[in-house]
Structure 1
């Protein structure tokens, strides 16, 4: 019997070990879990349900009208997803997107300069505060951008586009260095 395929993170290997230049750090984040929640449930109620079923350290990111992504570094356990789906019955639906999307961290004092090279979103902290998220385009790719700190962001992209986004970000980082950012 042939061996079953093993899960390999899409941004694995020396090519994606992280980039630090010109006040910018790119890093492939753990491919933990990413859940798509749809329904008429408020974020505070969703957070309470997540805490009850063991997802207390996960973050909730708005992904559209009555839609949220729940992201975390820990791998998803099937029983956890089933428990969460049962807890949300009648309030919302939950779908596992863990194997379909990848998260990339962008941080450093020049992170906004780098991201401004690829998106038209105003990332000034007064407009886009910590915890805020938006679905946008970075170049030609649809990406969710989340501010995770003063100078740090997390980008979530479809798995099949993760390498392309990484290459675009690396190119923009090199360009930012030449520009003296």
Structure 2
């Protein structure tokens, strides 16, 4: 008998779902790492420390007042997190959220229209440019939205709600497709 449970990606088997007529693609992103950073530090200073600690491929997303998520596709290496914590000691607090949250990619020509059906955030590129993020609600779920490209977004949601958000997005996209016919 195993002593520890085995990690299973919450959206296993849902690598991607393309809703072609609706112009939307849903993608289960790798469950790499997600570190919540709380404290008075400028994003540029945080970025410099991330590179030194081995998080060079990670992105920084604003998550609230003096709060950021550091997200990336690579699994979290404890030594890197320890190095980052040591470098930022006394400046910020770090919390590993890697196993508690899931990222979903939403892309395609109708991705903005799909997301606009569920949130009040203005996703127009002139207001919400690439790299911009916002904590919001999609339906009844708390989600962070990040614009990752012209027609692409990344959603971060609590792990226990990931399947529900996936199903809601797929259903909304399918409904939009039927409405347009």
The correspondence of residues 19-34 of structure 1 with structure 2, limited to 5 A, is 19-21=17-19, 22-34=22-34
The 4+ residue runs of structure 1 with deviation greater than 2 A are 1-4
Superposition pairs of residues 117-128 of structure 1, within 5 angstroms: 117-128=117-128
Counterpart in the other structure of 2:141: 141
| CA-CA distance at 1:177 after TM superposition | 1.2
CA RMSD of aligned residues (A): 1.1
Partner of 1:73: 73
TM norm structure 2? 0.96
Paired residues in the alignment total 179
State the alpha-carbon separation in 2 of the partners of residues 2 and 45 from structure 1: 42
In the alignment, is residue 130 of structure 1 matched against residue 130 of structure 2?
yes
CA distance in 2, matches of 1:2, 1:133: 40
Separation in structure 2 between the aligned mates of residue 17 and residue 67 of structure 1, nearest angstrom = 30
Alpha-carbon distance between aligned partners in 2 of 1:109 and 1:136, rounded to the nearest angstrom: 22
- Aligned residue in 2 for 1:59: 59
Residues 50, 84 of structure 1: 8 Å contact kept: yes
Q: Do the aligned partners of 1:113 and 1:176 also contact (CA within 8 Å) in 2? A: no
Q: Distance in 2 between matches of 1:178 and 1:40?
A: 48
1:3: Cα distance to partner?
4.8
Q: Helix, strand or coil for the counterpart of 1:51?
A: helix
Give the gaps of 5 or more residues in structure 1.
none
Under a length normalisation based on structure 1, what TM-score does the superposition of the two structures give? 0.96
Does structure 2 conserve the Cα–Cα contact (< 8 Å) formed by 1:101 and 1:159?
yes
The 2-side partners of 1:39 and 1:153 are apart by 26
Cα offset, 1:173, TM superposition: 1.1
**What is the distance in 1 between the residues matched to 2:180 and 2:11?**
28
CA-CA distance at 1:59 after TM superposition:
0.3
> How far did 1:180 drift?
2.6
- Give the Cα separation in 2 of the matches to 1:111 and 1:28: 15
CA–CA distance in 2 between the matches of 1:25 and 1:179?
18
